[in-house]
Structure 1
Amino acid sequence: MSGAFRETVTALLARPDVGPVLVQVATTLVSLVMILGLYALARSLRLGGDQRIADADHAKRLAEETWPGFAATEVTLDRARIGALVRNVEGRVLLIRRHGARFVGRELTTHDGIRLDRHTLTLETGDRQAGTLTIDLGADAQIWAASLRRLIDPARGAVA
């Protein structure tokens, strides 16, 4: 910094009526620039956003990513497309759900904690991280609720 500029800044900061205001304005501007920089970084990395399951094929791919070797044969999507139920030929059912900006899958091994209310199913996986999810399946809700009553629990080796 040049000597004249330094003296001007020092003189302004020394004035009781201007100094605190300049510091506050400078702090606000720096904060605003930092927030805009973080926003630009998040956009460039494509973080966040409204993640949805596009269609049944997307749900099948998510099931395969979650559970390698899971060959989905039957899929039903939540009307809001934030969750799906996916069944394979063995009768195993995965619940695909949004978790933040990505999707996770949990295998449903028992019908305990599954409640039907008209067109919605409330699913409690028993996993603290997965929590409870209510999905709107429309007319498919009753069909899936009935089929979930016949889940085979691999740990018990029998119908749950």
Structure 2
Amino acid sequence: MQTGGFNLIALAVQPALSLAAILSIWWIARAMKLGGDNRIHDADHARALAEEAICGFDPVDVALDRARIGALVRSADGRVLLLRRHGSHFAARLLSSHAGIRLDRQFLTIATTDRRFGAITLDLGPQAQIWAASLRLLGASA
């Protein structure tokens, strides 16, 4: 009978210990700021990301996706950088031509030549048409 009582206690304690272990791992991950919802906070954050991506990039104009998962940043010399969320970080690519850019009302879909970067659809609202028109000039002087 003692063995049966011990089994019942072990069965009752095991879920509590498992829950405590899970909560401990959650707390450690939270303290280390792992995971979470990584988004571009505002235009200044997008400018900082662009400057981190390319040394000497002088951002003057920013178009943020409404969900804050991507942005287009134009430099003073006319270069355009595409930012997109990639896991818990952001990836950036310079756009060299208007090939792979498609406008659909307020959505601008951009496919770069880098297959690993993939395509992204940005909801730019009314700015989508303005940016689409300006992106047509990319590569024109080459």
**Same fold judged by TM-score > 0.5?**
yes
Q: What are the superposed Cα offsets for residues 70-127 of structure 1, whole Å, 9 maximum, x if unpaired?
A: 1111111111221110011222111111112222211112212111000010111232
Identity of aligned residues (%): 53
How far the C-alpha of 1:25 sits from its partner, in A, is: 4.4
Alpha-carbon distance change, 27 to 125 in structure 1, aligned in 2, over 3 angstroms: farther
Q: Which of 121, 130, 141 does residue 143 from structure 1 map onto? A: 130
Local SS of the residue matching 2:109: strand
The answer (yes or no) to whether the contact 1:113–1:123 under 8 Å persists in 2 is yes
For the aligned residue pairs, the C-alpha RMSD in angstroms reads: 2.3
1:35 counterpart residue number: 22
- Which blocks of at least 5 consecutive residues in structure 2 are unaligned? none
1:52 counterpart residue number: 39
User: How many angstroms apart in 2 are the aligned matches of 1:34 and 1:109?
Assistant: 50
The answer (yes or no) to whether the contact 1:92–1:107 under 8 Å persists in 2 is yes
Which residue identity does 2:84 align to in structure 1?
R
Local SS of the residue matching 1:143: helix
The answer (yes or no) to whether the contact 1:78–1:136 under 8 Å persists in 2 is yes
User: TM-score with structure 2 length normalisation?
Assistant: 0.86
Q: What are the superposed Cα offsets for residues 21-75 of structure 1, whole Å, 9 maximum, x if unpaired?
A: 6555454333322211110011111122222222211111110011111111111
2:68 counterpart residue number: 81
How far the C-alpha of 1:18 sits from its partner, in A, is: 6.8
Q: Which stretch shifts more, 96-105 or 117-126?
A: 96-105
Q: Which stretch shifts more, 136-145 or 23-32?
A: 23-32
Q: Which of 107, 111, 126 does residue 124 from structure 1 map onto? A: 111
User: How many angstroms apart in 2 are the aligned matches of 1:22 and 1:113?
Assistant: 64
The answer (yes or no) to whether the contact 1:92–1:152 under 8 Å persists in 2 is no
- Which blocks of at least 5 consecutive residues in structure 1 are unaligned? 1-7
Larger Rg: 1
Within 5 Å, which residues of 2 pair with 1:61-140? 61-140=48-127
The answer (yes or no) to whether the contact 1:91–1:152 under 8 Å persists in 2 is no
